[in-house]
Each structure stands twice: as structure tokens, then as C-alpha cells.
Structure 1
């Protein structure tokens, strides 16, 4: 454990981590490399297998499994020792690919390491895990023929048990802008308990996890993170936590009487139109049909107008979708308009310093900069930097990028004033 934290029994939660000394807001509490990790299937074409970085250019593909991606032959050679066993397994299932959790469980077995504790699951959950376990056995068939099953630790011998532990204890690995790129197991941080308004956040550099405090933490105070996206209705958060992690959250946000009032503000008959349209819009986004998505979002947002305020959950989600679609279509003015509408709402729902608010400010700043709105861009970048330097740290690439953006804006402003 790190010098300022220790394991303890958290009342009503089981094991947890707490502070042994004062921890300041923005302080790096703990760093960890994964015991096992893998790039998400849906992003495999765009993410480097070795270092978990997005690349826009075309990447080299493993000629055997057709999945792993590399920036060159040197990169591929460096990754081979960790990829060769997975490569055989992937080949055995072609043209199908196993789920992320199955691949992660297999990688854990390849490291011959212990998995972590699992709470009891419902019958429906066990049935789903059983299907994953069957896929894991099929996936590993060739590899397990080559080594005795008894050579594995007990927790890795039973596929159902292993899948349950992996799905309950894995973390989503994201890039600096909080976009999902993979999953990983970090046993030392699996003791962290959940809170819908946590005092710590996790940020990644490649696969390296960094835990940072977002509030001042006193000695003996428990360290908490959020297991899920917290900007959702209490009922949904509770159901997601129960289904995946098998507990009922009793944090202050979940117990507050007016917890969902703002999220559901506005004319009900109007915001229900947005709610009912969201599943179809999510499908359009998954298919990358940006033109239809933007048209649909624009029409619905204009239909509900001011009768549904910007802080309504469904309106915010639709505005965010319109922002994404506008960016992908190169409609920069529309994108700035949608982005600026989200900022006051993000500030309200993600109290500073929160990485989600910081990243949104940065996105809007980049759009303003592209459109030569230099003063506005500099202001957005400054606000983003005040958040990101605390949530990501001074040395994170995204923090460095923000400093460069601010310097570019200042240089351009000086050039304009001197011309």
C-alpha cells in the first residue's frame, strides 16, 4: 500500500481503503500497472495493442489473429511475448471474437495469478456468466491442452468463478479524454468502494492507473471512486450497481429527497419525446450515421424548445450527441453552439475538479480556437487547465497539450494586436 493509505473494514461495505494522513485535493494517491489488460474489441482497429494509444493512421494488423494492431515491426516484436498465446486462442475462434471480459480472464490465466473476491450473484447473472465461462473454455481449449490444469492457481481453474471475479473487479481503461479503450485488472485498487460523489478519480496514462484526490481527505476518511457513470437517474444507478456489483448504494446523493428533480425538470410530455428517441439515436451513433443523427437531434431539440431546460438529463444527452455528430461532420459552428450549451450543466452536475467537466471545456476550447474565436478559446482552455492539472496531474499528456493550446492562443492574440 502507498504511504498515506491502508486497508480497513468499511462499515456495511466490507473491505475498503482509508487515509492515514491528510491528502490534498489534486494529490496523487496511488499508481498501479495492471495485472492483466486488453484493448476493447470495438476499438481494436484504432488502438495500439502494446501501449493502448489511439492512432489515426492505418495500423499494421497481426496476420494470424487479425485483431492486434501495431505501429510497425519493432512494436510488433516487443508485443509478441505477451500476445503469442492469445494469438493462438483468437485464431481458434475465427471469424468470431470473444468478449472483452473473456479475453481479460484468459490474459489473467496466462499470468497464472490469483483473481479477487466476488459477492453472490443472482441466478440471471450466473446464467450470463455461465455463457461467458463456456466461451472462455472454448477460447482457451488449445492452450489448456498444452499445460496441466492443476498448474493453475485454484481461483483460475473454475471458469464460472473466474469470469464472475473478473467482471466484478475489472476497470475500464480510458484515454486522457475519458474515451474507453480497454479493460484491466488492478487488484490493489479493487478494495476501493463506490460513492456517487467520490473523493477520488482514476485517470490512465496508457494502461497505468493513477488515483488522485478531488477533495481534501482527512486521516481515517475512506477513499471512494465511482464505479459507474453517475450522471443518471438514481433508479438506474442503483440497478446497475446491483446487477454488476451486487450492492445497494446508500450514499448521500442516492438518499437525497430531491435527487432527481433537476434531472427530470421541464414539461414531462416534452422530455418523454427525448427519452423515447434515445435508443434509436444510440443505434445511429453506433452505426456512425452522423448525418441522420444530427438531423434527428436537431429536430427533437427544436421541438421541445425552452419547455425542457438544458439541465434535463435527456436534453443534455441529446445535445451531447448533436455535438459529437457535428464534430464528425465538420459542422464546427453548430458544434460550438451545442458544446457551449452543455458547459453550465456539466459544471452543475460535475462539481470541480471533475475530469468530465475539464475535458468538455477543452473540447469546446478546441472548436473555438479552430473558428478563430481566440479570446473565448483561451478562457475555455484556462478553465479546463484549472481542472485537468488536479485530476490528471502536471505531467499528463493532456495537461501538456492544454498548456501548449493556451500558449498558441496568447501568441495569436499578440500577433493580432501588433498587426
Structure 2
């Protein structure tokens, strides 16, 4: 397997490429069928395979490169036509074929000089899968498809097949195009070593089917145990991120970002009524609202020389304060003391769990005085009417955001109406306001309403930086898109400023050789400079 990695434990700087890897198995999304080459995933004019009439290639070179992987699949696709094999079933079929007939069981994907990952090293979370009704229903449906699709291959037994399925769903990466849209799915053995954090220090980007891992923060040495990427979208509340990670990867995230009290103040906050104050105001708007699951510590009181001393409980001989500092340390809490054991993070796709927590949950505390709810910064008071408006706006926003998730397109009119109701009521960093802005901006670009999109982009930038951090591919792309709108409107100085911001970020997240940087961003910068002369 072709993969390249940074050698040694030397210091790494933001933007350094630490791993490049080709997929162990991958599949182009069926929604991209006919638009992209099934081998290199390039979007271009493509031609159908003359036999199966299903897969497409950009030319003879890609067709030859893909033949060893496609020849067994070709006749099967032709036989089941006009039925379309689901992406997950096709992916699992490719894995089964590679394991049984190819080199899948012996492939070593190195991520440093001496360390590598093989297919058997990937965790399947077999026990978790068996207890997951949704995943088991999916697995059962895939089995039905596979038994019809793979009649020329001896199928593994159910236990083995579930193990293959588990490794696939837990360790798959979503392959993204230059606009960060999903175009396929791939399993990358070496890259699967990387754990999750909501405050990552690395990022995975794609050039076709090739994955590139770059660090986004300076580090004194390259330690793979400390490299973190985000498995999920970050523009969510901590509890939403924790829930998604538990459902998909079977661990509870308690990274610094999830536990950040300052960050938590903003996610469901109201805008202060004082126009000169930017402080978030937290108003109860839903019964039993939970924004994050947090650890709970048992305090042990001891009396020595008549003095009561409170100490953090030690677990397995270690102080919980020390354990809390190291998310990969393992410990247990005795159920006899009334604490329920729950798996934590520091945990990863490979099933390594760290600190245990209780089921205790935090509810947002609000500054409530005798006279009512007030801003903690300027003491501006909220009347019952103000509270009622905020509650209804949050409920309205939650409903429409949920409806948008269930459609493939965010409707411009709905987004604009939501934003009109949210303006001046929700804090500019409120997650529902940010999500609505994001949906509205994308919808406006699709219908080419540039002037309105321009105004939304200006408001969206601080939201992206708050939720994704200052160095993230989506932040760089937002600056790039905003710059293109400004260039189209001939606001050249402002456009150049946005392109500079995009360049600063994309040079780190994608590198100077990536097509997004080399073929898209640099020509726009050159065009802006020429237009300005």
C-alpha cells in the first residue's frame, strides 16, 4: 500500500504533512455516479464501463488502474442491473473480496518507521454493534443485498461478516471534494490510528481518493498518541457532539472543548438588550435542557487532628485530579458508592477508553435575581415579554433547522424568515443562529443572490471561527467564497483581504500543492491584483 509519513520524532509546525495514504478500500458515492471517475474521483467528462454500464472512468489510464479491483465486481453489477447496489454494500463487498482473494490480510500501512496498521488491527466494536438496533437493522439489510450480489464468492459466516462490517463503519472516512462535500467513503488503515478531539491539532483533507493528514498547531515532537482530528461537524452543542460520537463510535467525548464553560455560555444564549454589550445571556427555554454531559467527582472527607480535610477520591490508588488531566488513563469507579460507570473519551475508534464519568449532567445556570433575569455584564433586565420572545424564537429555530436537515436543500425564504426572527434576539454566536446563517449562505450561493450572500458571509465568519477554530478547512473555504463574491461585485480591496485570509488558512490545512490552493485560490489572487492595477 502506498503511503508516506513524516520521519522521526522531530518538532512539527502548523501545516506540516505527517501522513499521505491511499485507501485500503473505497467507493464513489452513487449520487456522484456519472459525474466523477470511479477510480481517481475527478469531476470531469466520464465514460461508462462497456460491460456493467454502471461505473465510469475519465480515460483508459484510470480504467486500467481500476481493472484489478473492478473485474470481479463488473459481472456482478451487470447481473443485478438495473438494481443499484447501496454504497455500504458495495464497500463491504470490496472489503470481502480483498480479504478473501487479494492481499487484504497482509497489507501493512506504516505511519512511522516501525509502526503500521493492518486490517486485523482495526476494532470492530462487535459487542456494541450487537446492542445497537439501528446498526443491526442496517447490517441485516446489507446481508440480504450481499448474498444476491456476491454469488461467485464464498461469503463469510455471520460472525465474521459482522466483524468486517464493524471495522468498516467504525473506521471509515468520508471522502470530501475541494468544497468539503461528501463524494465517497474510504477505509485508510494508517490514518485510523488517529483519535478524536473537538479541539483537534490536525486535519484530514483529500486530493481525489488520497488522504492527507496535516498538523494545524506547532508541536515539540510528532507523537501519534497526541495527534487528534475531529470525526464530526463542530457547529453543534457539546451534548449533540457527544451524542453523535456515542452513536457512531461508541465513546463519550470529554475533551477540553466539550468541558469549556466559557464556550458553553454562548451556544444557546440570548443577545443582551443593551446594544453596546456583547455578553451572552442565558435564559431557560426548554424543560430539562442539557447542553453537556460532565464528569462527577466524589469528595472524601477525612478528619485529622480535629481538622476536616476534603480530598478528591483516589481511584485504583491514583488521585482523580491527576486522572482528569490525562484522558487516556484508565480507571474504574465503584458502583457501590452510587456512581454509575460510563465510558469516556480520550477514547477512540479503536475502543481505548480513559476516565470514567457518572451520568451526571450539567444544566446551564442563569443569572436570576429577585427582579428577574439580567445580563451578568451590564445588569440589563429582561422582562417576561423578552423571555417569551426568546423562548418562542428558539423553539421556532429548532423546528425549522430540523426540517432543513431532512431536505437536501435549504430554502432561501425559510432561512431568511428564521434570521429575521432571530436578529436581535439570539446572540450572534448562538449555535442555532450560526446554523441558520450557514444554511442561508449556501442556499443564496446556489440561487446566485450575491448581494444578500455577501451580508450573511460577514456575519458567518465569527461563527465559523468560534465553532471550528481559526485554522480549519471550512473557515478557509468561507473566506474564499466570500472573496469570490466580493471580486464579482468588484470590491477588489475587500476581496483581496478575504483571499489573504483564505491563503493563510489553506496553506496550513491543504498545503501549497493541493488543487484547491494551487488551481483555485492563487488564480483568484492574481486576478484580483490585475483588476486593481
| Fold in common (TM above 0.5) | yes
Quick one: which of 489, 502, 510 aligns to 1:384?
502
Q: Distance in 1 between matches of 2:153 and 2:426?
A: 61
**Residues of 2 paired with 1:130 and 1:93: CA distance?**
22
Tell me if the contact between 1:51 and 1:207 (Cα under 8 Å) persists in the aligned partners: yes
Match of 1:362 in 2: 480
Pair 89,255 (structure 1): closer, same or farther in 2 beyond 3 Å: farther
Which residue of structure 2 lines up, in the alignment, with residue 257 of structure 1? Answer: 261
Aligned partners of 1:348 and 1:142: how far apart in 2? 47
Which of the pair has the greater relative contact order for Cα pairs under 8 Å at 6+ separation? 1
- 1:233: how far off? 1.0
SS at match of 2:257: helix
Query: Structure 1 stretch 304-313 or stretch 156-165: which is displaced more?
Result: 156-165
Given that 1:102 and 1:132 are in contact with CA atoms closer than 8 Å, whether structure 2 keeps it comes out as no
Residue matched to 1:396: 514
CA drift of 1:90 comes to: 3.3
Change (3 A) 1:269 1:110: same
**Aligned match for 1:132, one of 139, 148, 163:** 139
Helix, strand or coil at the partner of 2:261: coil
SS of the residue aligned with 1:215?
coil
Shift in Å, 1:366:
1.1
Indicate the SS of the match to 2:73.
helix
Q: Identify the residue that residue 102 of structure 1 maps to in structure 2.
A: 89
Give the SS at the match of 1:89.
helix
2:98 matched to 1:111?
A: yes
Over 3 Å counting, the alpha-carbon distance change for 1:96 and 1:378 in structure 2 is: same
**Alignment correspondent of 1:11:** none
Partner of 1:353: 471
Task: Indicate conservation of the 8 Å contact 2:18/2:215, yes or no.
Answer: yes
> For 2:231 and 2:62, how far apart are their aligned partners in 1?
33
- 2: CA distance, partners of 1:24 / 1:123: 42
8 A Cα contact 2:22 2:209, kept in partner = yes
Structure with bigger helix share is 1
Q: Against the structure 1 CA distance between its residues 24 and 235, is the aligned structure 2 distance closer, same or farther, given a 3 Å change threshold? A: same
Q: Provide the aligned length of Structure 1 versus Structure 2.
A: 388
Could you tell me how far 1:128 is from its partner in structure 2? Answer: 2.5
CA shift for structure 1 position 190: 0.9
Instruction: Report the equivalent of 1:310.
Output: 428
Aligned equivalents of 2:170 and 2:454: distance in 1?
A: 38
Q: Give 1:165's match in structure 2, choosing from 164, 167, 180.
A: 167
SS at 1:375 equivalent: helix
Quick one: distance in 2 between partners of 1:329 and 1:60?
30
Distance 1:283 1:133, change over 3 A: closer
2:23 paired with 1:34: yes
**Equivalent residue number for residue 395 of structure 2:** 272
**1:86-97 residue pairs with structure 2 within 5 A?**
86-97=73-84
Q: Distance in 2 between matches of 1:99 and 1:258?
A: 43
- The answer to whether the Cα contact below 8 Å between 1:336 and 1:368 also exists between their aligned partners in 2 is yes
1:135-169 alpha-carbon deviations (Å, 9 max, x no partner): 246335454x43455xx8x9x98222211110001
In structure 2, distance between residues paired with 1:265 and 1:97: 46
When normalised by structure 2's length, the TM-score is 0.67
**Is the CA contact 1:174–1:203 (under 8 Å) kept in the aligned structure 2?**
yes
Q: Displacement, 1:42? A: 2.5
Structure 2 portions without partners, runs of 5+: 106-118, 271-389
Aligned residue in 1 for 2:529: 410
Residues 65, 87 of structure 1: 8 Å contact kept: yes
Over 3 Å counting, the alpha-carbon distance change for 1:70 and 1:126 in structure 2 is same
| Larger mean Cα displacement after TM superposition, 331-340 or 235-244 | 331-340
Q: Which of 316, 339, 355 does residue 457 from structure 2 map onto?
A: 339
Asked if the contact 2:178–2:516 (Cα under 8 Å) also holds between the matched residues in 1, the reply is yes
Residues 180 and 138 of structure 1: is their aligned pair in 2 closer, same or farther, counting only changes over 3 Å? closer
Task: Determine helix, strand or coil for the equivalent of 2:186.
Answer: strand
Deviation at 1:188, TM superposition (A): 1.0
Answering whether residue 490 of structure 2 is matched by residue 375 of structure 1, we say no
In structure 2, do the counterparts of structure 1 residues 130 and 87 end up closer, same or farther at CA, with 3 Å as the change threshold?
farther
CA drift of 1:133 comes to 4.9
Match of 2:13 in 1: 24
Residue 224 of structure 1: how far off its partner (Å): 1.0
Please say if residues 124 and 164 of structure 2, whose CA atoms lie closer than 8 Å, have aligned partners that are also in contact.
no
Paired residue for 2:128? 121
- Give unpaired runs (5+ residues) of structure 1: 6-19, 415-419
Root mean square deviation of aligned Cα: 2.5
Q: Mark the CA change 1:351 to 1:304 in structure 2 (over 3 Å): closer, same or farther.
A: closer
Larger Rg: 2
Pair 1:391–1:187, CA change in 2 (3 A): same
| Deviation at residue 85 of structure 1 after TM alignment | 2.5
